[in-house]
Protein backbone atom coordinates (compact mmCIF):
# COMPACT_ATOMS: atom_id res chain seq x y z
CA UNK A 1 0.00 0.00 0.00
CA UNK A 2 1.06 3.60 -0.64
CA UNK A 3 0.11 6.19 1.94
CA UNK A 4 0.83 9.91 1.78
CA UNK A 5 -0.06 11.83 4.92
CA UNK A 6 -0.08 15.63 5.09
CA UNK A 7 2.51 15.97 2.33
CA UNK A 8 3.58 19.50 1.37
CA UNK A 9 6.39 20.42 -0.96
CA UNK A 10 8.25 23.48 -2.26
CA UNK A 11 11.02 23.31 -4.90
CA UNK A 12 14.47 24.51 -3.75
CA UNK A 13 14.78 28.29 -3.33
CA UNK A 14 11.23 28.89 -4.52
CA UNK A 15 9.48 29.27 -1.17
CA UNK A 16 6.25 28.53 -3.05
CA UNK A 17 4.43 25.35 -2.15
CA UNK A 18 3.44 23.26 -5.16
CA UNK A 19 1.54 20.75 -3.03
CA UNK A 20 -0.06 21.37 0.36
CA UNK A 21 -1.44 18.89 2.87
CA UNK A 22 -1.87 16.06 0.38
CA UNK A 23 -3.38 12.89 1.81
CA UNK A 24 -3.52 9.92 -0.52
CA UNK A 25 -4.01 6.21 -0.05
CA UNK A 26 -3.39 3.78 -2.90
CA UNK A 27 -4.30 0.10 -2.60
CA UNK A 28 -1.83 -2.55 -3.80
CA UNK A 29 -2.51 -4.27 -7.11
CA UNK A 30 -4.61 -1.42 -8.52
CA UNK A 31 -4.33 1.11 -11.32
CA UNK A 32 -4.80 4.60 -9.91
CA UNK A 33 -5.15 7.60 -12.20
CA UNK A 34 -4.17 11.11 -11.14
CA UNK A 35 -5.73 13.87 -13.23
CA UNK A 36 -5.60 17.64 -13.15
CA UNK A 37 -4.65 20.71 -15.14
CA UNK A 38 -1.09 21.35 -16.34
CA UNK A 39 0.75 22.98 -13.46
CA UNK A 40 -1.44 21.33 -10.82
CA UNK A 41 1.56 19.43 -9.45
CA UNK A 42 1.17 16.04 -11.16
CA UNK A 43 4.84 15.71 -12.14
CA UNK A 44 5.86 16.83 -8.63
CA UNK A 45 3.62 14.18 -7.08
CA UNK A 46 5.07 11.53 -9.42
CA UNK A 47 8.58 12.45 -8.25
CA UNK A 48 7.52 12.32 -4.59
CA UNK A 49 5.96 8.89 -5.07
CA UNK A 50 9.24 7.60 -6.50
CA UNK A 51 11.66 9.21 -4.06
CA UNK A 52 13.20 11.54 -6.68
CA UNK A 53 11.84 14.24 -4.40
CA UNK A 54 13.63 14.90 -2.08
CA UNK A 55 16.58 12.61 -2.99
CA UNK A 56 17.40 14.17 -6.38
CA UNK A 57 15.51 17.45 -6.65
CA UNK A 58 15.92 18.49 -3.01
CA UNK A 59 13.45 21.10 -1.83
CA UNK A 60 11.30 21.28 1.23
CA UNK A 61 9.22 18.13 1.76
CA UNK A 62 7.10 17.58 4.84
CA UNK A 63 4.63 14.88 5.84
CA UNK A 64 5.17 11.18 5.27
CA UNK A 65 5.39 9.05 2.11
CA UNK A 66 5.08 5.40 3.08
CA UNK A 67 5.36 2.66 0.46
CA UNK A 68 5.23 -0.99 1.49
CA UNK A 69 5.46 -0.01 5.15
CA UNK A 70 8.62 2.09 4.78
CA UNK A 71 8.97 5.86 4.68
CA UNK A 72 10.77 6.81 1.44
CA UNK A 73 12.50 9.80 3.04
CA UNK A 74 14.33 7.43 5.38
CA UNK A 75 15.54 5.22 2.51
CA UNK A 76 18.54 5.85 0.25
CA UNK A 77 17.61 6.57 -3.39
CA UNK A 78 18.87 3.12 -4.48
CA UNK A 79 16.33 1.48 -2.18
CA UNK A 80 13.54 3.73 -3.51
CA UNK A 81 14.45 2.79 -7.08
CA UNK A 82 14.10 -0.91 -6.32
CA UNK A 83 10.60 -0.25 -4.90
CA UNK A 84 9.21 2.22 -7.42
CA UNK A 85 9.87 2.56 -11.16
CA UNK A 86 9.28 6.08 -12.50
CA UNK A 87 8.50 6.61 -16.19
CA UNK A 88 9.08 10.33 -16.73
CA UNK A 89 7.03 12.57 -18.94
CA UNK A 90 9.56 13.18 -21.70
CA UNK A 91 10.88 9.83 -23.01
CA UNK A 92 13.78 11.63 -24.71
CA UNK A 93 15.13 12.32 -21.21
CA UNK A 94 14.56 8.81 -19.81
CA UNK A 95 17.18 7.25 -22.07
CA UNK A 96 20.39 7.01 -20.06
CA UNK A 97 22.74 7.53 -22.98
CA UNK A 98 25.07 5.03 -21.33
CA UNK A 99 24.45 2.25 -23.87
CA UNK A 100 24.49 2.06 -27.65
CA UNK A 101 21.55 -0.25 -28.26
CA UNK A 102 18.00 -0.55 -26.98
CA UNK A 103 18.98 -3.94 -25.55
CA UNK A 104 21.81 -2.35 -23.58
CA UNK A 105 19.56 0.49 -22.48
CA UNK A 106 16.99 -1.97 -21.13
CA UNK A 107 19.67 -3.91 -19.23
CA UNK A 108 21.27 -0.76 -17.79
CA UNK A 109 18.99 -0.43 -14.74
CA UNK A 110 19.27 -4.14 -13.92
CA UNK A 111 23.08 -3.94 -14.11
CA UNK A 112 22.93 -1.23 -11.46
CA UNK A 113 20.67 -3.33 -9.28
CA UNK A 114 22.87 -6.42 -9.61
CA UNK A 115 20.48 -8.68 -11.54
CA UNK A 116 22.18 -11.94 -12.72
CA UNK A 117 23.24 -11.74 -16.37
CA UNK A 118 21.12 -14.60 -17.80
CA UNK A 119 18.07 -13.29 -16.00
CA UNK A 120 18.68 -9.87 -17.53
CA UNK A 121 18.52 -11.33 -21.02
CA UNK A 122 15.29 -13.18 -20.36
CA UNK A 123 13.62 -10.15 -18.76
CA UNK A 124 14.63 -7.93 -21.68
CA UNK A 125 13.23 -10.46 -24.15
CA UNK A 126 9.99 -10.81 -22.20
CA UNK A 127 9.29 -7.07 -21.81
CA UNK A 128 10.33 -6.31 -25.40
CA UNK A 129 7.82 -8.93 -26.53
CA UNK A 130 5.05 -7.47 -24.36
CA UNK A 131 5.58 -3.96 -25.75
CA UNK A 132 6.28 -5.20 -29.30
CA UNK A 133 9.74 -3.63 -29.58
CA UNK A 134 11.72 -6.85 -30.15
CA UNK A 135 12.68 -5.63 -33.63
CA UNK A 136 14.20 -2.47 -32.11
CA UNK A 137 16.54 -4.21 -29.64
CA UNK A 138 19.70 -3.84 -31.73
CA UNK A 139 19.04 -0.26 -32.81
CA UNK A 140 20.35 2.91 -31.18
CA UNK A 141 17.85 4.42 -28.74
CA UNK A 142 18.51 7.79 -30.40
CA UNK A 143 17.42 6.87 -33.90
CA UNK A 144 13.92 5.88 -32.83
CA UNK A 145 10.69 7.86 -33.34
CA UNK A 146 9.12 9.59 -30.34
CA UNK A 147 6.59 6.79 -29.94
CA UNK A 148 9.27 4.10 -30.10
CA UNK A 149 11.41 5.96 -27.55
CA UNK A 150 8.42 6.12 -25.24
CA UNK A 151 7.96 2.35 -25.44
CA UNK A 152 11.67 1.87 -24.67
CA UNK A 153 11.37 4.22 -21.68
CA UNK A 154 8.41 2.20 -20.36
CA UNK A 155 10.22 -1.09 -21.02
CA UNK A 156 13.30 0.16 -19.15
CA UNK A 157 11.16 0.41 -16.00
CA UNK A 158 9.12 -2.79 -16.53
CA UNK A 159 12.28 -4.93 -16.65
CA UNK A 160 13.09 -3.83 -13.09
CA UNK A 161 9.93 -5.58 -11.84
CA UNK A 162 9.39 -3.04 -9.10
CA UNK A 163 6.27 -3.58 -6.97
CA UNK A 164 5.16 -0.03 -7.81
CA UNK A 165 5.18 1.77 -11.18
CA UNK A 166 4.63 5.52 -11.42
CA UNK A 167 4.03 6.77 -14.96
CA UNK A 168 3.88 10.44 -15.92
CA UNK A 169 1.90 10.70 -19.20
CA UNK A 170 3.27 7.40 -20.54
CA UNK A 171 1.34 7.49 -23.82
CA UNK A 172 1.88 11.13 -24.90
CA UNK A 173 3.88 10.15 -28.01
CA UNK A 174 1.87 7.07 -28.97
CA UNK A 175 -0.90 6.58 -31.51
CA UNK A 176 -4.21 5.05 -30.35
CA UNK A 177 -3.04 1.51 -31.14
CA UNK A 178 0.16 1.91 -29.11
CA UNK A 179 -1.73 3.62 -26.32
CA UNK A 180 -4.19 0.76 -25.99
CA UNK A 181 -1.38 -1.76 -26.07
CA UNK A 182 0.44 -0.01 -23.19
CA UNK A 183 -2.71 0.10 -21.08
CA UNK A 184 -3.34 -3.55 -21.89
CA UNK A 185 0.13 -4.36 -20.55
CA UNK A 186 -0.54 -2.28 -17.43
CA UNK A 187 -3.76 -4.19 -16.81
CA UNK A 188 -1.83 -7.48 -17.01
CA UNK A 189 0.77 -6.20 -14.56
CA UNK A 190 -1.98 -5.15 -12.17
CA UNK A 191 -3.37 -8.68 -12.45
CA UNK A 192 0.06 -9.94 -11.36
CA UNK A 193 0.00 -7.65 -8.32
CA UNK A 194 1.87 -4.54 -9.47
CA UNK A 195 0.59 -1.23 -8.09
CA UNK A 196 0.37 1.35 -10.87
CA UNK A 197 -0.08 5.11 -10.55
CA UNK A 198 -0.60 6.83 -13.88
CA UNK A 199 -0.76 10.56 -14.62
CA UNK A 200 -2.78 10.79 -17.81
CA UNK A 201 -5.16 13.14 -19.65
CA UNK A 202 -7.11 10.69 -21.84
CA UNK A 203 -10.51 10.15 -20.19
CA UNK A 204 -11.68 7.17 -22.27
CA UNK A 205 -8.59 5.20 -21.30
CA UNK A 206 -8.80 6.10 -17.64
CA UNK A 207 -12.39 5.00 -17.55
CA UNK A 208 -11.54 1.70 -19.20
CA UNK A 209 -8.50 0.83 -17.08
CA UNK A 210 -8.27 2.74 -13.81
CA UNK A 211 -9.74 1.46 -10.56
CA UNK A 212 -9.77 4.87 -8.94
CA UNK A 213 -9.07 8.49 -9.87
CA UNK A 214 -7.72 11.37 -7.79
CA UNK A 215 -7.98 14.98 -8.93
CA UNK A 216 -5.11 17.37 -8.19
CA UNK A 217 -6.30 20.97 -8.06
CA UNK A 218 -5.49 23.93 -5.86
CA UNK A 219 -2.28 22.21 -4.63
CA UNK A 220 -4.18 19.33 -3.03
CA UNK A 221 -6.36 16.32 -3.78
CA UNK A 222 -9.63 18.03 -4.69
CA UNK A 223 -11.66 14.86 -5.26
CA UNK A 224 -11.32 11.08 -5.35
CA UNK A 225 -13.68 8.47 -6.70
CA UNK A 226 -14.36 5.88 -9.36
CA UNK A 227 -13.49 6.95 -12.92
CA UNK A 228 -17.23 7.13 -13.66
CA UNK A 229 -17.86 9.47 -10.74
CA UNK A 230 -14.89 11.77 -11.39
CA UNK A 231 -15.18 12.02 -15.18
CA UNK A 232 -18.91 12.83 -15.08
CA UNK A 233 -18.53 15.33 -12.23
CA UNK A 234 -19.81 18.84 -13.07
CA UNK A 235 -16.48 20.25 -11.82
CA UNK A 236 -14.29 18.64 -14.57
CA UNK A 237 -13.94 21.99 -16.43
CA UNK A 238 -13.02 23.79 -13.25
CA UNK A 239 -10.40 21.11 -12.47
CA UNK A 240 -8.98 21.28 -16.00
CA UNK A 241 -9.87 17.62 -16.57
CA UNK A 242 -11.02 16.51 -20.02
CA UNK A 243 -14.46 14.92 -20.23
CA UNK A 244 -15.22 12.43 -23.01
CA UNK A 245 -17.32 13.65 -25.95
CA UNK A 246 -20.04 11.31 -24.66
CA UNK A 247 -20.18 13.22 -21.38
CA UNK A 248 -20.05 16.58 -23.17
CA UNK A 249 -22.91 15.66 -25.52
CA UNK A 250 -24.98 14.31 -22.63
CA UNK A 251 -24.41 17.50 -20.62
CA UNK A 252 -25.60 19.52 -23.57
CA UNK A 253 -28.69 17.31 -23.97
CA UNK A 254 -29.42 17.81 -20.29
CA UNK A 255 -28.98 21.59 -20.52
CA UNK A 256 -31.46 21.60 -23.39
CA UNK A 257 -33.95 19.65 -21.29
CA UNK A 258 -33.85 16.65 -23.64
CA UNK A 259 -33.12 14.17 -20.86
CA UNK A 260 -34.18 14.12 -17.22
CA UNK A 261 -31.90 16.26 -15.05
CA UNK A 262 -31.28 13.33 -12.70
CA UNK A 263 -30.07 10.98 -15.45
CA UNK A 264 -26.45 10.06 -14.65
CA UNK A 265 -24.05 11.26 -17.34
CA UNK A 266 -22.32 8.63 -19.49
CA UNK A 267 -18.52 8.46 -19.67
CA UNK A 268 -17.87 5.46 -21.93
CA UNK A 269 -19.18 4.43 -25.35
CA UNK A 270 -21.40 1.71 -23.84
CA UNK A 271 -22.90 4.09 -21.30
CA UNK A 272 -23.51 6.72 -23.99
CA UNK A 273 -25.20 4.12 -26.21
CA UNK A 274 -27.56 3.35 -23.32
CA UNK A 275 -28.02 7.04 -22.50
CA UNK A 276 -28.84 8.21 -26.02
CA UNK A 277 -30.69 5.05 -26.93
CA UNK A 278 -33.01 5.34 -23.94
CA UNK A 279 -35.88 7.20 -25.54
CA UNK A 280 -36.35 4.33 -27.95
CA UNK A 281 -36.97 2.07 -24.98
CA UNK A 282 -39.57 2.43 -22.31
CA UNK A 283 -37.58 3.81 -19.41
CA UNK A 284 -35.11 6.65 -18.82
CA UNK A 285 -31.54 5.68 -17.97
CA UNK A 286 -31.11 4.35 -14.47
CA UNK A 287 -28.03 4.82 -12.30
CA UNK A 288 -26.95 1.28 -13.21
CA UNK A 289 -26.55 2.34 -16.84
CA UNK A 290 -23.79 4.78 -16.00
CA UNK A 291 -21.94 3.18 -13.11
Considering only residues 152 through 171, tell me which ones interact with another protein, judged by CB under 8 A: 169
Q: Cα(197)–Cα(168) distance, rounded to whole angstroms?
A: 9
- Residue among 41 and 85 whose Cβ is closer to another protein: 41
Q: Kindly state the number of chain residues that form the binding site for another protein, as judged by CB under 8 A.
A: 48
Residue 246 interacts with another protein (CB under 8 A): yes or no = yes
- Window contacting another protein (CB under 8 A); options: 54-62, 129-137, 208-216, 248-256: 248-256
Q: Is 63 in the site for another protein (CB under 8 A)?
A: no
DSSP result, 164-205:
EEEEESTTTT--HHHHHHHHHHHHHHHHTT-EEEEE---HHH
* Residues 89-128 close enough to bind another protein by CB under 8 A: 89-90, 92
SS3 261: coil
- Span interacting with another protein, options 99-107, 209-217, 227-235, 249-257, rule CB under 8 A: 249-257
CB of 236 to another protein, least distance (A): 7
Contact predicate 213/34, CB 8 Å: yes
Minimum distance from residue 44 beta carbon to another protein (Å) = 11
Say if CB 42 and CB 18 are below 8 A apart.
Answer: no
* Interface pattern 271-290 for another protein (x via CB under 8 A): -xxx-xx-xxx---------
Chain residues 188-227 in contact with another protein, contact rule CB under 8 A: 201, 204
Choice between 117 and 281, CB closer to another protein: 281
Given candidates 111, 245, 286, 291, which one binds another protein under the rule CB under 8 A?
Answer: 245
User: Could you check whether the bond before residue 54 is cis, i.e. omega within 30 degrees of 0?
Assistant: yes
When asked if residue 36 is in the footprint of another protein (CB under 8 A), the reply is yes
Q: Is 140 in the site for another protein (CB under 8 A)?
A: no
Q: Is 178 in the site for another protein (CB under 8 A)?
A: yes
CB 182 within 8 A of CB 31: no
Count Cβ atoms within 10 A of the Cβ of residue 69 and give its class: 0-12 exposed, 13-18 middle, 19 or more buried: exposed
- Give the count of alpha carbons within 13 A of 91, CB side only: 23
CB of 82 to another protein, least distance (A): 28
DSSP E strands: which ranges in the chain? Answer: 2-10, 17-26, 31-35, 60-67, 70-71, 84-87, 164-168, 195-199, 212-217, 220-225
Tell me if 232 contacts another protein by CB under 8 A.
no
How far is residue 290's CA from residue 273's CA, in Å, rounded to a whole number? 10
Residue 233 within binding range of another protein, rule CB under 8 A: no
Residue closer to another protein, measured from CB, 177 or 261: 177
Strand-pairing partners, residue 70, are: 67
From residue 3 to residue 32, what is the string marking binding to another protein with x (rule CB under 8 A)? Answer: ------------------------------
Pick from 157, 194, 166, 163: nearest CA to 51:
166
Give the binding site for another protein (CB under 8 A): 36-39, 43, 89-90, 92, 143, 145-148, 169, 172-178, 201, 204, 236-237, 240-246, 248-249, 251-253, 256, 258, 269, 272-274, 276-277, 279-281
Amino acid sequence: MIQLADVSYAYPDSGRFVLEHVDLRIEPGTITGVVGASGAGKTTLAKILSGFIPHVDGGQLSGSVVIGGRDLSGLPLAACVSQVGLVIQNPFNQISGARYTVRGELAFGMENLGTPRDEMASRVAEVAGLLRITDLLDRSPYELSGGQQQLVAIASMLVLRTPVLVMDEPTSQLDPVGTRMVFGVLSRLRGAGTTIVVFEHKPELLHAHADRLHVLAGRRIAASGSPGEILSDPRTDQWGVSATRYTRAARLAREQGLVPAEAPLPVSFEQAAAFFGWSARTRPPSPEDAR
